[in-house]
Amino acid sequence: MNDTFSVKLPGGETWTPAFVSSLDEEKCIGCGRCFRVCSRGVLQLVGVSEDGALIPLDDDDEEEYQKRVMTIAHPLLCIGCTACAKICPKKCYRHAPAQI
């Protein structure tokens, strides 16, 4: 049986990090709030082309994408703080504890 990864804090409390597991790109409005609060470089804003492909953002090619969405570019850098979920106005995020 797996256990949930948790940390004993200096004050004696136990903290269970909840790591980012998915982001609903349909609900995302590309506001960038989550990007600004993530201290770990996990997230990346990209463009969505007319045929649904994700494309890197470039100031020169704004006409090439229909909308902007956030993506989880580097999930292994996540420390499970859930700051992204707390600030997201569209409730795009799902998080889960790690199993050990």
- Binding of ligand SF4 by 44 (CB under 6 A): no
Size of interface with ligand SF4, in residues (CB under 6 A): 27
Query: Would you say 97 and 17 are in contact if contact means Cβ atoms under 8 Å apart?
Result: yes
Closer to ligand SF4 at the Cβ: 53 or 73?
73
**Bridge pairing between strands 54-56 and 19-23:** unpaired
- Binding of ligand SF4 by 46 (CB under 6 A): no
**Bridge pairing between strands 7-8 and 14-15:** antiparallel
CB of 36 to ligand SF4, least distance (A): 9
- Binding of ligand SF4 by 33 (CB under 6 A): yes
- Binding of ligand SF4 by 47 (CB under 6 A): no
The total number of residues shown for the chain amounts to 100
Q: Which of 42, 36, 30 is nearest to 70 (CA)?
A: 30
What are the C-alpha distances in Å from 26 to residues 17, 46, 70, 81?
Answer: 26, 13, 10, 23
Question: Taking contact as CB under 6 A, which single stretch among the options 6-14, 23-31, 54-62 is the one that binds ligand SF4?
Answer: 23-31
Kindly list the residues in this chain that would bind ligand SF4 in the complex (CB under 6 A): 20, 23, 28-34, 37-38, 40, 42-43, 70, 78-84, 87-90, 92
